[in-house]
Amino acid sequence: MAKKILVIEDNPANMKLVDDILTAEGYEVLKATEGLPGLEMLKQDSGEVLLVLLDLKLPDIDGIEIIKKIKADDSIKNIPVIVVSAYAMESDIQSTKEAGCADYITKPINVMEFLDKVRSTV
């Protein structure tokens, strides 16, 4: 059975790239284009999802708020979250770490770095 990763990303090109990379590595990818539906998917598949890859700027809710909701819910709080975002300011990275994310990957994605971080987290 493939390891499941939930990707919450609203940009179709970024979603395709991440999906292609992860699928080629043998992961099963669950996809959400908005934060709240992604959070619901995570709750439904909490026993099977090993990692959440999360964009910060989503149409319905800020990624930091999603991290806080995940970390506040006992049923999903132990599932690691890696932020994948074009926002590379030190303050953005610090905010995500304070909220409880495991790591931060900047866009554009460096495929090898991306895979190293995913592999070391799942």
In CATH, the number for domain 4-121 is 3.40.50.2300
Burial of 34 (0-12, 13-18, 19+ CB in 10 A): middle
Rounded Cα distance, 104 and 117, in Å: 9
Whether pTM exceeds 0.85: yes
Question: What is the torsional sign of CA 106, 110, 112, 118?
Answer: positive
- How much is the pLDDT for 28? 96
Model confidence at 1, in pLDDT bands (50, 70, 90)? low
* Each residue's pLDDT tens digit, 77-111: 999 999 999 877 788 888 899 999 999 999 999 99
Domain boundaries, the chain: 4-121
* Each residue's pLDDT tens digit, 49-61: 999 999 999 999 9
Rounded Cα distance, 39 and 62, in Å: 12
* Each residue's pLDDT tens digit, 13-38: 999 999 999 999 999 999 999 999 99
Rounded Cα distance, 25 and 37, in Å: 25
Q: How many CB atoms are closer than 10 A to CB 120? A: 9
